[in-house]
Structure 1
Amino acid sequence: MSIIDDLQKKEKALQKLIRLGSLTVLPLHADFNHASSQWRRDRSSQFWARTTIRCLCAAIEATLFSFRKIAEDIAPLSSVQFSTDEIEILSEKRTVVQGGIRTKRPKFLPPAGAVKETFRLFAKAVGTVATVDYGSGFSDFCGTFEVRNRLMHPKTPFDVAVEPKDINMADRGITWFNQTYMKVADQCQAHLAKVIAEHNRRNA
């Protein structure tokens, strides 16, 4: 197989994996959209407010998981080697030794670290570096997960309350996330297209 054939194979594989990943998490995004629309019809409903936050975070986590799986699948085609720590981040598993026995344990990063590392490793898998704006939208993204964590681990009766400002923050957070992951995917596909075009020019 020629270099150009290999590059085109990698480009098509990336496109296919992105499409598959998007279809896989689509129902979860639909859940969020439904919950959000129900809350907007009845803003006094704490049930729909809490459901909106939980559905949103589930959709985001599933999307990030999909991106990490794509990175694992595409890296061999790019001859990219991940470090041990990076492999643990992608697989969400770490190896520990207890009493001379090696076992696997879960390894989960906080949301802020998870999204940064996922985008970084996704880009690394195709041989590039993604440019990401971690500004105010990212702060809203992190704040939304703080609300979710408060709901899942309440310490007082007030911790399970979701205010309209929390939903508005979640809207800004998901807008940032959706725009950002699409930009990262576009940057990676553009990188492969550029490499293919440069190779064609050199061999014209």
Structure 2
Amino acid sequence: MTDTSSSPDAAAQEWGALSNLPGNPIMWVLIISELLVFGAFFLGFGAARILDVEMFRAGQAMLDLRLGGLNTLILVTSGWLAAKAVQAGHAGQGAVSRRWLLAAGVLGFAFLAVKGVEYADKAAHGIDIETNTFFTLFYLMTGFHALHVVMGLVVLAIVGWRNSVDNLETGAAFWHMVDLIWLILFPIVYLVR
């Protein structure tokens, strides 16, 4: 009897639609799970906002749109660099791919530095996680996202070290999830009045 459990057809049957996505299907399970968690955060934020619109408007007025906008630009650019790394990997250019990943990682650290400046500014004004519901949710959501940026940097480092097309696609998928979450989080927390 022949073992077909490791054949591509068997893998496609095992993972279904996930087997058609780039990278490892297990990463996609993680990504979907993380998107659901952040979705719950977004729903909770929206519900709390409905209960006290004025407090949320006052809290949003205390946020620095320039820093949030800068971080948006940083993460979108970093995501583009990660995509370039995958493109280079597909072209068999491992060294070029690593350079793109390094650049993406540098921007990930820049995002964290800007977020640190924003947190320090809030702390200097006596604003912390216990100030009110808006800032409790602000710190929980942006802090949880920052944790994902840190995890993404670890993933990018591992992918750069163990460079393969599958690893590149898997790591870039996680990094793009981090981008996507910020692209939803930024307008919800900073812009929607």
- What TM-score, normalized to structure 1? 0.46
- What TM-score, normalized to structure 2? 0.48
Tell me which protein shows more strand as a share of its residues. 1
- Structure number with the bigger relative contact order (C-alpha 8 A, sep ≥ 6) is 2
